[in-house]
Amino acid sequence: MSRALLYTIVFIEGFCSLGAEVIALRRLVPHVGSAIVVTAPTIGFFLLALALGYAAGGRVAADYRRLVRRNFLIAALLAGVGLAGVTVDLLFAHLQPALVAYLVFIGGVLCPLAWLLGQTVPILTNLMQAERTGEASGMALYWSTLGSFLGSLLLSLGVMQWLGVSAAVVACTLCLLLGALLLAGRDFKIWLFSASTAAIAIGIALQHTVTADTAYAEYIVAPVDIAGQRQARAFWVNKSLASLVDDSRPAHTTRYIRHLRQVLLDDLGFTDREILVLGAGGFTLSHEEPRNRYTYVDIDPAIRDLAEKHFLRQAVRGEFVVDDARRFVATTERRFDAVVVDVFSSQTSIPGHLVTREFWAGLRRVLKADGVLLANLILDGRLETPYARNLLATIDSVYGRCAVEVLHRARPLSNVEVVCHAGSQPGPAAIYVDEKNRADLDQARSR
C-alpha cells in the first residue's frame, strides 16, 4: 500500500470516529439532555470501545486490507442507520425507561462503530514502510488524530450548523464508504454494497422530518388543534413543547408566558423598561407586546430566523444576541429592569452551569438596583424531589425568600415560576414553637 493511501485511510478513520461521537452526543440531547452525567459516560464508553479496538487490531496478523475494508463497510452501515434521527427517536419511544434506550444506543451503535474503527491504525501500521516502528506508528497516529481534530470541528461547526445533524450523519457514512472503495480496487460487490449503503443512509436521513436540525437543537413547528384558538402552532425544541402561538388578536400563548406577562405588565406595571430574556424559545414573551424593550440571548444563531419564518410568521419584537447565557451575563455592560431565565436543553434539563449559586449571583450584575428576576423552571408539581428542593434553595440562598408559583399542580412535571427582587438579601430564619413563640414580636417588627 502506498504511503499516501495509507495516510488517507487512517485520516478517514479519525475523522469519522470522532465525528460519530459528536453526532451521538447531539442525538442524545433531545432525549436525555446534555448534562455531565450523560456526556461523561458516553465519552467513556466510546474510549473503552476504541481501546478494545486497538487491542483487537494489534492481534491481526494477515489479510490487512480486507479486514480494514470490511470494518469500514460495517461502520458505514452502522453510522448511516444507527445514528439517524429516526432510529434514535424509535429507540427512545419504544424502550423505557430512557436508560434502557441509552444503553442499547451506546452498546449497539456507538461502541461497535468505535471498536471497528479503532482497529484501523494497528492493522495498517503493518503495511507501513519505515525504518523504525516508532516512526511508523507515530505517523499513523498523527494522521488519525488530525482527522479526529478536523472531524470534530468541521462536523459540529460546519455541517451541523449549515446543513443539520442528518447531513453530518450522511457525510460520515460517505467518508467511510470512500475509504472502503479506496481499498476495494475494482471489486464490483464492494461498489454495489457501498452504493446500497449510501442510498439507505440518505433515504433514512430524509425520513427525519424536522423544521430545522442544528448543532444545538432539533426544532419542529407544527399545527395543533386547541379549542378556541385560530390556527394554533406549537414550537418544539428537542422534543419538548417550548411555545405556542395562534393567529388570534391578541394571540394566545402558553400559560407560563401569560403568567410572566402578568407579573411584568400587571403586577409590576412595567412600561418602557429593559427586559433581558435568557433562552429565546419561540420569542413569544415580547410577541405583540409594545410597552417594553426586550433583549433575547440564545446560543443558537438559527433560532430567530426559524421562529420568524415558521412560528411567529412575522419579525421578532426585540433585539437578539447570539451568546451563551452565562457568558453574556458575565461580560455585558448593560443593566436591565428585569431578567427572565428560560433556558433548557431538553424538557427538564437546564444546562448545569446555569443552575449554580454563582450563576444566580452573577445575575445581580445585570439587574438594576430595583430589578426583578423571573425564572421559568420545570420541576415536579409537589416540589419534593431533591432537584426541586436544591434548585429553589440555591436561588433563595442568593436572593432571600422568592415567590414560587406552581402552574400545573396535578401534573408530574410543571412549570414553576420564581420571582425574586435584586434588592433582597438572604437572612437567618427561626422556627416558631409553643415554648418560645416570637411570632407577634416579629410581626410587629415587620410593619
Q: Do residue 383 and residue 295 come from a single domain?
A: yes
Q: Do residue 267 and residue 188 come from a single domain?
A: no
Range of the domain at 291: 250-421
Which of 6, 299, 229, 273 lies closest to 125 in space, CA to CA?
Answer: 6
Q: Name residues whose C-beta falls within 8 Å of residue 293's C-beta, 6 or more positions apart in sequence.
A: 272, 273, 274, 275, 318, 319
Q: Name residues whose C-beta falls within 8 Å of residue 157's C-beta, 6 or more positions apart in sequence.
A: 215
The yes-or-no verdict on residue 144 having pLDDT over 90 is yes
What pLDDT is stored for residue 443 in this prediction?
A: 81
Q: Do residue 261 and residue 407 come from a single domain?
A: yes
* pLDDT range class, residue 142, cuts 50, 70, 90: very high
Q: Do residue 402 and residue 309 come from a single domain?
A: yes
Query: How many domains, in total, are found in the chain?
Result: 2
Which of 236, 217, 196, 224 lies closest to 85 in space, CA to CA?
Answer: 217
Tell whether 429 is covered by a domain.
no
Q: Do residue 8 and residue 125 come from a single domain?
A: yes
Tell whether 378 is covered by a domain.
yes
User: What distance in Å separates the CA atoms of residue 70 and residue 180, rounded to the nearest whole number?
Assistant: 7
Grid coordinates given for 141 = 497516529
What pLDDT is stored for residue 348 in this prediction?
A: 58
Three-state secondary structure readout of 345-362: CCCCCCCHHHCCHHHHHH
**Residue-wise pLDDT tens digits, 279-310:** 988 999 999 999 999 999 999 999 999 999 99
Q: Do residue 263 and residue 381 come from a single domain?
A: yes
**Residue-wise pLDDT tens digits, 221-249:** 999 998 888 899 999 888 888 899 999 88
Tell whether 230 is covered by a domain.
no
Q: Do residue 414 and residue 357 come from a single domain?
A: yes
User: What distance in Å separates the CA atoms of residue 420 and residue 37, rounded to the nearest whole number?
Assistant: 30
Q: Do residue 39 and residue 172 come from a single domain?
A: yes
User: What distance in Å separates the CA atoms of residue 294 and residue 307, rounded to the nearest whole number?
Assistant: 16
User: For position 267, which CATH number holds?
Assistant: 3.40.50.150
The yes-or-no verdict on residue 345 having pLDDT over 70 is no
Q: What is the mean pLDDT of residues 177-182?
A: 94
Q: Do residue 264 and residue 205 come from a single domain?
A: no
Backbone φ/ψ region at 273: left (φ over 0), alpha (ψ -120 to 50), beta: beta
**Parallel, antiparallel or unpaired: strands 240-245 and 212-213:** unpaired
The number of C-alpha atoms within 13 Å of 397 and in the hemisphere containing its C-beta is 14
Asked if 207 and 253 touch (Cβ cutoff 8 Å), the reply is no
Q: Do residue 388 and residue 272 come from a single domain?
A: yes
In angstroms, the Cα distances linking 91 to 63, 75, 84, 300, 311 are 36, 19, 11, 26, 28
Which of 118, 111, 109 lies closest to 13 in space, CA to CA?
Answer: 118
Asked if 339 and 374 touch (Cβ cutoff 8 Å), the reply is yes
Tell whether 243 is covered by a domain.
no
User: What distance in Å separates the CA atoms of residue 220 and residue 329, rounded to the nearest whole number?
Assistant: 29
Last residue of a domain, one of 183, 209, 235: 209
The yes-or-no verdict on residue 347 having pLDDT over 60 is no
Tell whether 214 is covered by a domain.
no
Please name the helix (run of DSSP H) or strand (run of DSSP E) that holds residue 113, with its range, or none. helix 111-118
Which of 334, 387, 392 lies closest to 363 in space, CA to CA?
Answer: 334
Grid coordinates given for 335 = 443593566
**Residue-wise pLDDT tens digits, 55-99:** 999 999 889 999 999 999 999 999 999 999 999 999 999 998 989
Average pLDDT, the chain: 91
CA angle 215, 217, 218 (to 5 degrees): 115
Tell whether 66 is covered by a domain.
yes
* DSSP SS3 for 428: coil
User: What distance in Å separates the CA atoms of residue 422 and residue 367, rounded to the nearest whole number?
Assistant: 7
Q: Do residue 167 and residue 288 come from a single domain?
A: no
CA angle 40, 42, 43 (to 5 degrees): 65
* pLDDT range class, residue 36, cuts 50, 70, 90: confident
The yes-or-no verdict on residue 185 having pLDDT over 70 is yes
% of the chain with per-residue pLDDT over 70: 98
What pLDDT is stored for residue 440 in this prediction?
A: 81
Tell whether 130 is covered by a domain.
yes
* pLDDT range class, residue 357, cuts 50, 70, 90: very high
User: For position 124, which CATH number holds?
Assistant: 1.20.1250.20
What pLDDT is stored for residue 131 in this prediction?
A: 59
Residues in a beta bridge with 404: 418
Tell whether 328 is covered by a domain.
yes
Q: Do residue 202 and residue 328 come from a single domain?
A: no
Last residue of a domain, one of 209, 230, 264: 209
